[in-house]
Every structure is written in structure tokens, then in C-alpha cells.
Amino acid sequence: MKIIALAAAGSIAFAAAACSKPPADTPGTPGAGSFKACMVTDTGGIDDRSFNEASWKGLEAAKAANSAVTTKYTASTAMSDYDPNLQNQVTDGCKYIQAVGGLMGDATKKVAAANPTVQFSIVDADNLGLTNVYPIQFETQQAAFLAGYLAAGYSKTGKVGTYGGMKIGPVTIFMDGFVDGVKHYNTTKGKNVQVFGWDKDKQDGLFTNDFVKQDAGKQQSDTLVAQGADVIFPVAGGAGLGSAAAAANGGYVIIWVDSDGFLTTDYKSVMLSSVLKNSTDGVKDAVLNSAKTPGTLLTGGFLGTLANKGVGLAPFHDFDSKIDQSLKDELKKLEADIIAGTIKVTSPAQPK
Amino acid sequence: MTSMTVDNSLALPEGYWTRTRKAGLIMVLLGLIAAVYLTAIVPNEPARFFLGETTAASGASFSINGKVGTLIFGLLTIACGALLILTNKRFGLYVGLGLAFFVVAALIWQIAETGGQVPLSSLSKITMEKSLPLIFGAIAGVLCERSGVVNVAIEGQLLTGAFFAALFGTMVGSQWFGLVAAAIGGALISLILAWLAIRFLVDQVVIGVVLNALALGLTGFFYEQVMREDTKSFNSPGLLPVWTVPGLSEIPIIGPALFKGTILTYAALLLVVAATVALFRTRWGLRTRAVGEHPAAADTVGIKVLGLRYVNVMIAGLVAGFGGAYFSMVTASSFTKNITGGLGFIALAAMIFGRWHPVGAFLAAIFFGFSSALSSLLQAIQSPIPSDFLAMLPYVATIFAVAGLVGRSRAPAADGKPYVKG
């Protein structure tokens, strides 16, 4: 506990220092900039090559599309920062506040309930029972299913592995889909590809318990590789970078999550593909709609699926020539089947 | 300084049930759990261990029947406990062995239960890798505290080292320069620690905590402002090359861990030896210990107490900073905010667990690394033990080790006490 207490004390004391300069508070052109859209990152930080980064791109895209929009973000270094960070953005006059991540649910609920006229939005959580919270959610398991099938088809050792950052819905939904995809491959092909790191029935597996520590990520992938896995699916945000960095020497490939790892990380040569979660478009549309009618709250929510391209499998890039055409065709067919509803992919963590 | 310490060996006798015998009793109980309970519940299946780094079917392996394995190793644990009770001697050896046997019994149970496979070389390799920053951190703590300055700032030294390695390694375009910069980074934190603690007599624990926060805040700030803006020019030092010692790296189980690593692996091993020799076989070491135990006495025989403390705190910073390069050049090839994630505090615990001795610190670091590697392995092979519990394992083990097994590990007498002449 001392460790946690000290670490927490440190983070709290210096959270203010770490983000003292508002990093991206762009001055608007004269007459513009009347709609302030703000975002609070989770502990992964704005450049997690994952959903924080993707959501921020959504805000930036909205700014590019509508000159009335100005953007700003505040980084959280600890979970205890969520509440004050959200609170500060309300005080700061933000009209639209984007919370990122299911872990921010409690803090968002508290701050949003206290400020019912401010438009809040949250990625990876439902509307928290409030009318001023706009939920942006994803049927991620559909895309992860394709990734599992791809991994099983690509693996030479017949073993693949996955690990998560934390045992929470937005993470395990990837792992559920992945495991089911491998299972589907085994059933249709009569093969026996093994998955290490996640047991869908027991809902338990391998976790770094962290989204930042790259050494923890590497440790988990080393463990999986030792079990024979040659395709690794890290669902751990920035911690997964440790696995990606070691992949070239370790003789395995990575399936990245949230954004296209080939484009967002420095480890292009090991990125087999990525499970995309298009927070960017979901956030962009929400901001633009909210800016169009300031003062009115958004209704409904955004649900990303394979059908509306809210989730998907990234291009194979450098691996395009190394994947059999038949496997690519099967993936296309699977995608169509899932969109048509003939194959149902479910997860206990999927949006209700 | 007038404080005196009572040597523990002069304490009053404790009767028949000494601490050693009590520990023996606990060993016997653990052994009974393994030999009776585990043997009863373990399935009658073989547990398979591979000598190599993977579980490839072609690799050398051996297997042991689950029931036979838990029984044998349970009995061995009991034997260690019995020896402790009967002889009342060799506390460390038998407790260590007994615990090791118990862990093996538990492992056999888990493997037989899940049908999983254990690649032993990989287990030891992950153990060693996980231990590396702890070895550097803990020995930095030893060097500092043996001279009487408490070093709570290990975390900050590691973090600054990691940051400097990535920043300057990338800017200069040389990983070796990055390593030097890492050491200097750690020393900078040490400089502040030494200056405030020795010159201004500020409470050393408080400075340590503040320095950790300072390092976290500053590296985080510069990461956001500089590194993140241009990763290519400021934050891509690349991975350190892995050097393989021909022949020795082929030794089963321990070969890959000790003889197939980056410069940090070899430096850590060398450091353990060098620090031990320096502390206990050289004039500098004798003086360091004298200053840490009784600075007034050391002063009267002409040792420059404050000067020596400055030197030692700076050396500690160099060591910890160098180890910090692990985070940005060994397990990752970039720096991110708070990349050390509290391991510096574990290093602090390892130093205490290791009784302020370089070899002890090394073993304690390995102990933590092993429980962490084991936790990963059990999660990966889908052990029936919940992953949340397994994730706690390394920390729980460390707490028990620090609190219970070490017994009265005694800090240097003048540790944390500023020295004022006269």
C-alpha cells in the first residue's frame, strides 16, 4: 500500500505540473471559436496509439470541418485525476466534454449529473442513465472475431496468444471475439489451433493490469511465445508497445488494437493487421452535431459495427503478400456473414 | 550522534521455540499441505517441463506424475522444516530450500491440473529480465544507505535514467551514449538528494518522495512537450543488441537467462560481484560502512564523513540511472510517461529484504522477478486460480518476505541520520 500511496501522491502532486500548459488550445480565427469541445484522456495519455489518440483525432477532425469549434484536452496521469479534470473543463466553459474509456464512467456520471446543461460524451460506456451523456460504443467483438480467424489461419505453430490491459469490458470484448474467431476457424477447418491468455467461458486470462508499462507487456508476450504462440494480440494500449518492440527479434507478429498499428506505431514490420475501433468518426460526428445545435442535448448514441464501419479489420499492409488468397477470401465472406447476421458474434461485454 | 544500537545477538534467549524453530514449524505445515492436500486433489496426470525456451514438441523435456511430484516435494518441504526444528540452525538456507520445494510442488499441481507446459529456460529468462531494474535499483539503495543516506528516490533515478537514455540516445544517435546519459540522469537526482540531505539536513525520506514526484513530473512534462512532438528525433533509441555467449548460453534452464542478454544483464551480474567486493574487501568499503554505522567514530579517525556520503550517493545515482535504461532500451524502444510504474519502490523493498547486502539484494530481486514470471505463466496456461489473485502474487510474496522471513534485518545504524560535526 505504501507503494501505491507514494505513487499516487506523486501523480497527484505533479499531474498539475505535467499538464500545466494546455497543449492544444488553438486560438480560433476571429469571429469563430464559439464552440469549445474538450476531452479528458484516460491514464494511457493522448498518444497511446489507441483510443485516446483516436478520439482526439475525432475532435481535431471536427475542428477542421467547422471553424466554430475549438479543441482542448487534459491528460490524466491517474484515475484520481478524472474527476477534477472533467470538473475543470466545465469551469473552463467547455460546451462538449469527451470522456474516454469505461473506467471514467463513475467520474463522468458524477460531473455530468451536476452539470445537466453541458453536453458530455463517453467512449466505451453507455449513457450512465443521464440525458446529457452521449454514449459512443462498439460491437468490437465482431472485428476481433475476424482477427482471431486471421491469427489462426496465419499461425505456423498452431498456437496464438492474447493478453489484456485490465479485466474490464472494453478490453475483454476484444479477447472474447478473438477466441471465438479462432474457435470458428477450428470448427470450419477441422484444425486445433490453441489460444493462450484468455478463456471465454471462465472470463479469465492474462493481464498486465496496466496500460502504460511496456515491460509488463513484453513479459506477457514472452510468456505466450514460450508456450509456442507466434501471433500475439495485445489488448493493453501503450503497454502492448513492449510486445511490438520485441516482436522482430522474438519471431512473432502482432495484431494491434483500436487504431491501425501499421500507421500509428513505429513497428510496421511486425503488424499483421489491427482490430480497428473507429472512435475518430464517432467522436467527430458527435462534436459536429452538438456544435450545430448548441444548447440542445444530443439524443441516442453511436454504435460502431462492422456494418457501419465503426469497427473493422485493418489492411494487411506489408503482410498482404504473405497471407494466402483463400484466407483473405474467407475473411471477406465472414465479414459479409456477420453483417448479414448469419454469423452472430457475442460477448458478455458487448453494448446492451 | 548519541544513538546506540543493541546488537540483536545479545538479546535475551527465547526459550525452545526460537524464531528459527517457528519457521520450521511453518515449513512442516506447508509441506503437509503439499504432501496431503495437493496430492489428494491433483489429477493423476503428468506435469511436463521443457528444458528449452519454448514448448516445441522436439525440445528436451521431462515429466513427472502429478501425485508423485506433489508428494515428493511436499515431503522435501517437511524435511527442511524438521531440520530447522531439530538443529535450530541455518535459517536462511532451509527456509529458502523449503519454500522452493513448496513452490515446485504447487507448480506441479497447477501444471498437471491445466495440462499446461512449462518451458523452464523461458521462465528463468523472464525472471532475470524482470529482475534487472530491481538489481540496479536495490544495489543503488545499498551503496547509498550503507553510508548512512536513505535512498527513497530510486524510482526517480530509474525514471530519469530511462528518460535520458531515450532522449540523448536518440539525439546523439548512439545507444552507448544513451547509456552514459542514463547514468548521468540518475546521478542528477542523486545530486539533489545528497545536497539537501547532507548540506541542509532535510529529512531524507521526505526528499526521496519529493524527488520521485519531481522526476515523474519533469520527465512527463518534457515527454509531452518534446518527445511526443517528434518521436523520430527524440524518442526512438532502438533496442540494445543482444549478446550471446557461445556455449554457455546453451546450458539448460539458466543459460539463456544469464548468457543471452543485453549489456544490462552482464552489467548487473558484474555489479553484484563488484559491489560486494568493494563494500567488504576494500578500504572504501570499510570507510563507507563505518560512516553508515557510526559517523562520529569514523570522523575521529580522520574519515571525511560528508565527502564520502556525497560520493556514495552519486555512485548510487549512476548505478540506478544506468539500470533505468532497461525501461526505454531493453523491454521497449521508447520512453513513455511513468514507464517505471513503481518498480523503484519494489527495488527499495528488495534492498531491505536483501538485508542491505548486494548479494541479498540480488537474490531478493530474483525472487520478485520469479514470482512475477510465475504469475504470468499461470495466467497464460489458464490456471484455475483467478488472474486477479495471481497478479497480486509478486507483491504479496514480497510483503511476506519483507515482513516475515527476513526477520530482524537491521539497517545501518546511522541510516537516515544527518551528521553534524561536534
Determine which of A240-254, B138-152, B169-183, B392-406 has the lowest per-residue pLDDT on average.
B392-406
Please indicate, yes or no, whether residues A43 and A87 belong to a single structural domain of this protein: yes
Q: Among all chains, which residue has been given the C-alpha cell 463513475?
A: A106
Count of other CB atoms within 10 angstroms of residue B201: 12
Whether residue A333 sits in one domain with residue A204: yes
Per-residue pLDDT averaged across A95-105, rounded? 91
Short-list A227, A221, A223, CA closest to A194: A227
- Please report residues of B whose CB lies closer than 8 A to that of A266: 231, 236, 333-334
Q: How many CB pairs under 8 A join A and B?
A: 163
Is A215 in Cβ contact with B327 (below 8 Å)?
A: yes
What is the CATH architecture of B122-405?
Orthogonal Bundle (1.10)
**pTM for this entry:** 0.85
For the packed helices B343-353 and B358-380, what is the interaxial angle rounded to 10 degrees?
A: 130
Q: Are residues A185 and A121 in the same domain?
A: no
Is B209 close to A6, i.e. CB distance below 8 A?
yes
Total residues belonging to chain A: 352
* Phi, psi dihedral angles at B36 (to 5 degrees): -100, -60
The residue-averaged pLDDT of B395-422 equals: 79
* Half-sphere exposure of residue B359: CA atoms within 13 angstroms, side-chain side: 6
Grid coordinates belonging to A26: 488553438
Gap between the Cα atoms of A38 and A94, Å rounded:
6
CA B149/CA B142 separation, integer angstroms? 10
Q: Do A223 and B373 touch (CB under 8 A)?
A: yes
- Same domain, yes or no: A66 and A214: no
Indicate left, alpha or beta for A241 from its phi (over 0: left) and psi (-120 to 50: alpha). Answer: alpha
A156 CB within 8 Å of a chain B CB: no
Check A215 against B331: CB less than 8 A apart: yes
CB contact under 8 A, A242 and B331: yes
What number of CA atoms fall less than 13 Å from residue A310's CA on the CB side? 22
- What is the residue range of A322's domain? 140-277+316-340
Q: Which of A18, A213, A226 sits opposite B220 (nearest CB)?
A: A18
CA of B340, closest CA in chain A: separation in Å? 7
Q: Which residue of A has its CA nearest to B229?
A: A47
Q: Best interface-test mutation with B: which of A214, A218, A232, A270 has the largest number of B CBs within 10 A?
A: A214
pLDDT band at A27 (very low <50, low <70, confident <90, very high): very low
Same structural domain for residues A191 and A134?
Answer: no
Classify residue A352: in a domain, yes or no.
no
- In degrees, rounded to 5, the angle at the alpha carbon of residue A89 between the alpha carbons of residues A84 and A92 is 125
Q: Which of B414, B420, B419, B379 is nearest to B150 (CA)?
A: B414
- Interface touch B55/A227, C-beta < 8 Å: yes
**What Å distances lie between residue A155 and A158, A182, A257, A330, B273, CA to CA?**
5, 11, 18, 16, 44
pLDDT number for residue B13: 58
Chain B nearest-CA residue for A230: B54
Partnered with residue B63 across adjacent β-strands are B48
To the nearest whole Å, the CA of B369 is away from the closest chain A CA by: 10
In chain A, the percentage of residues whose pLDDT exceeds 70 is: 91
Looking up residue A33, the CATH number of its domain turns out to be 3.40.50.2300
Q: Pick from A46, A77, A222: which is nearest to B122 by CB?
A: A222
Strand order across the beta sheet in which B46-50 lies: B61-65, B46-50, B117-119
Closest in B332, B345, B382 to A199, CB measured: B382
Q: Quick one: A206 and A323 in the same domain? A: yes
- What residues does CATH 1.10.3470 cover in chain B? 122-405
User: What pLDDT was estimated at residue B170?
Assistant: 95
Please report the pLDDT score of residue B205 as a whole number.
94
Q: Which is more confident, A150 or A210?
A: A150
Mean pLDDT rounded to a whole number for chain B: 89
Residue A31 C-alpha, separation from nearest chain B C-alpha, in angstroms: 29
Rounded to the nearest angstrom, the minimum Cα separation between B255 and chain A is 15
Beta bridge partners of A99: A40, A122
Q: What is the pLDDT of residue A164?
A: 95
pLDDT digits (tens, 9 = 90+) for B315-348: 999 999 999 999 999 999 999 888 998 999 999 9
A182 and A66 both lie in a single domain: no
Write out the E strands in B59-114. Answer: 61-65
- Bridging pattern class, strands A302-304 and A133-138: parallel
Q: Is the pLDDT of residue A56 over 80?
A: yes
pLDDT tens, residue by residue, B298-307: 999 999 999 9
Point out the residue among B133, B338, B381 whose CB comes nearest to the CB of A227: B381
Helices (H) and strands (E) in chain A, counts: 11, 14
- SS3 call for A78: coil
Give domain status of residue A345, yes or no: no
Q: Which of A345, A333, A282 is nearest to A122 (CA)?
A: A282
Rounded Cα–Cα distance for residues B182 and B177 (Å): 9
Does A283 share its domain with A273? no
The answer to whether the CB of A152 falls within 8 A of the CB of A323 is no
Q: Which residues pair with B249 in a beta bridge?
A: none
| A212 to B339: CB separation less than 8 angstroms, yes or no | yes
Alpha carbons within 13 A on the beta-carbon side of B35 = 16
Lowest mean pLDDT among A29-38, A95-104, A176-185, A340-349: A29-38
In a domain, A20, yes or no: yes
Q: Do A3 and B341 touch (CB under 8 A)?
A: no
Residues A55 and A77 in one domain: yes
The answer to whether residue B112 scores a pLDDT higher than 80 is yes
Distance set, CA A237 to CA A124, A233, B98 (Å)? 14, 11, 40
Helices B263-281 and B120-146: crossing angle, nearest 10°? Answer: 40
DSSP H or E segment with residue B110: helix B91-114
Q: With H, G, I as helix, E, B as strand and everything else as coil, classify residue A233.
A: strand
Q: What values do phi and psi take at A219, rounded to 5?
A: -60, -45
Residue A350 lies in a domain: no
The shortest C-alpha distance from B407 to chain A (Å) reads 20
Interface probe for A, chosen from B379, B381, B398 (most Cβ of A below 10 Å), is: B379
Across residues A189-195, what is the average pLDDT?
94
Task: Determine the residue type at B177.
Answer: F
Contact of A271 with A318, CB cutoff 8 Å: yes
- CB count within 10 Å of CB A73 equals 25
pLDDT at B14 over 90: no
In this complex, which of A212, A220, A246 lies closest to B376 when CB atoms are compared? A220
> What's the pLDDT at B6?
46
Which residues on chain B are in Cβ contact (under 8 Å) with A212?
336-339, 341
Mean pLDDT of B377-400: 85
Measured in angstroms, the CA of A286 and the nearest CA of chain B are apart by 27
Contact B327 A196 (CB under 8 A): no
Contact, B265 vs B125, CB < 8 A? no
Tell me: do A336 and A209 sit in the same domain: yes
**CB-CB neighbours of A115 under 10 Å:** 18
Work out how many domains chain A is built from and give that number.
2
Residue type, B28: V
Retrieve residue B382's grid coordinates: 489458464
CB A42 within 8 A of CB A80: no
Strand pairing report for B243-244 and B260-261: antiparallel
Radius of gyration from C-alpha coordinates of chain B: 23
A11 in contact with B at a CB cutoff of 8 Å? yes
Alpha-carbon distance B191 to B195, whole Å? 6
Q: How confident is the model at residue B92 (pLDDT cuts 50, 70, 90)?
A: confident
Check residue B376 and give its pLDDT: 92
Instruction: Report which residue type is found at A38.
Output: C
Q: Closest residue of A to B386, CA-based?
A: A204
Q: Would the pLDDT of A1 be above 50? A: no
Instruction: Note whether A202 contacts B336, CB cutoff 8 Å.
Output: no
pLDDT of residue B119: 87
For residues A287 and A329, state if they share a domain: no
pLDDT band of residue A26 (cuts 50, 70, 90) is very low
d(CA A1, CA A4): 5
Q: Is the Cβ of A289 closer than 8 Å to some Cβ of chain B?
A: no
Min Cα–Cα distance to chain B from A315, Å: 24
CB contact under 8 Å between A212 and B345, yes or no, is no
Length of chain B: 422
Would the CB atoms of B345 and A3 count as touching at under 8 Å? yes
Residue A70 and residue A188 in one domain:
no
Q: What is the mean pLDDT of residues B360-376?
A: 92
Query: Quick check: B330 and B262 in contact, CB under 8 A?
Result: yes
CB B224 within 8 A of CB B230: no
- Tell me if A42 sits within 8 A of A103, measured CB to CB: yes
Decide: B384 and B144 in contact? Cβ < 8 Å.
Answer: no
Inter-chain contact B126–A197, Cβ cutoff 8 Å? no
CA B224 to chain centre: 30
Write out chain B residues lying below 8 Å of A251, CB-based. Answer: none
* B122, B217, B332 member nearest A226 (Cβ): B122
Nearest to A6 among B212, B379, B386 (CB): B212
The C-alpha atoms of residue A48 and residue A214 are separated, in whole angstroms, by 12
